[in-house]
Chain A
Amino acid sequence: MVYVYAFVERPASVPDVRGIGDARVEAEAAPGLDVVISRHEAPSVEASEPAVIAHARVVEALAASNEAVLPARFGGGHADADGLRAAVAERASELTAALARVRGCVELGVRALAPAGQEVAAASGGAYMRARLEQRREAERLAEELHAPLAERAREATRTVGATPRLLLSAAYLVPKGEVTEFREVVERVQAEHAELAIVCTGPWPAYSFATAEAGSA
């Protein structure tokens, strides 16, 4: 089985890092790009924490030594290199376009948390529903207020609003490497303008959230 970590603009620079199960990591040529892989006897990979961390470590190392890296999702395997190349061929133009989009950029994640006590107490079923609906609308409005200035500083952005009553915003921003400091400053400013919220910015990450054409549209 050929296990896939990431797609990299040719020629890929493969760092000195081991993959899942301490397997050797190598670059395999494919239509329009290189694929970074490891080869395994077993037909599948166990979804364990060490495997997930190993996958992340390989992707991280690749992002440090290559300008354009598209992370693969965990668990992607192919019977052999020919099968892999055929699968890449089917989406070659989409993948090379995505590589061009993320070139020179990193991903910054932002989450905004409302204070505790978001539970709705109501005297009747109807009152409960109306209160929950109002809560969602207010959360959506607030999330947009937080997101807009951040999206302005990013090449692309994606977001989810109101995953839970407290988790107002979960977003990812594609930012050129040299503009990370300015982006963080905007986060600080947004936090200062909304002292009651807890805003957490994590990163820089490889561009996991921008690896497909649909992902980059917000």
Chain B
Amino acid sequence: MNGASPAAQQEVTLLELVDRVLNKGVVLTGDVTLSVADVDLVYVGLRVLLASVGTLEQLESSPQ
């Protein structure tokens, strides 16, 4: 292994792992309660981001 830091290796393998778990694998349909819907996966990131913005706005506007 040439020069690759353990942190960088771990990060890449984590990316590979998450890519597989979230984007690959069997998806059943039919009578399915998809616990995390396709569209939710898109919006999870947006919601996290908006939530962080919202929290800050609250902090900034709350009385000191």
* Chains A and B bind each other: yes
Q: B-contacting residues of A (Cβ < 8 Å)?
A: 1, 3-4, 7, 43-47, 49, 52-53, 55-56, 59, 70-79, 83-84, 86-88, 90-91, 95, 98, 109, 200, 202, 205, 208-209, 211-212, 215
Contact of B23 among A70, A73, A88, A212 (CB under 8 A): A73
Residue B21 is within 8 A (CB to CB) of chain A in the complex: yes
In the bound complex, what is the Cα–Cα distance between A146 and B44 (angstroms)?
Answer: 36
Q: Which residues of A contact B44 (CB under 8 A)?
A: 47
B16 and A73 form a contact (CB under 8 A): no
Q: A-contacting residues of B (Cβ < 8 Å)?
A: 12-13, 16-18, 20-37, 40-41, 44
Q: Which residues of A contact B21 (CB under 8 A)?
A: 52, 55-56, 59, 71, 73-74, 208
A205 and B32 form a contact (CB under 8 A): no
Contact of A44 among B23, B26, B28, B33 (CB under 8 A): B33
Known: A202-B16, A209-B24. A87 touches B36 (CB 8 A): no
Q: Which residues of A contact B22 (CB under 8 A)?
A: 52, 73-74
In the bound complex, what is the Cα–Cα distance between A31 and B1 (angstroms)?
Answer: 46
Q: Which residues of B contact A208 (CB under 8 A)?
A: 20-21, 24-25
A43 and B35 form a contact (CB under 8 A): yes
Q: Which residues of B contact A91 (CB under 8 A)?
A: 28
Pairs of residues from A and B, 7 with the lowest C-beta to C-beta distance, nearest first: A75-B36, A77-B35, A73-B25, A208-B24, A87-B30, A44-B35, A208-B20
Q: Which of A45, A49, A83, A95 has the most CB of B within 10 A?
A: A83
Q: Which residue of A is nearest B29, CB measured? A: A87
In the bound complex, what is the Cα–Cα distance between A208 and B17 (angstroms)?
Answer: 10
Known: A52-B18, A200-B12, A202-B16. A76 touches B35 (CB 8 A): yes
B18 and A71 form a contact (CB under 8 A): no
B36 and A47 form a contact (CB under 8 A): yes
In the bound complex, what is the Cα–Cα distance between A98 and B30 (angstroms)?
Answer: 19
5 intermolecular pairs with C-beta atoms under 8 Å apart: A44-B36, A45-B36, A46-B36, A47-B36, A52-B18
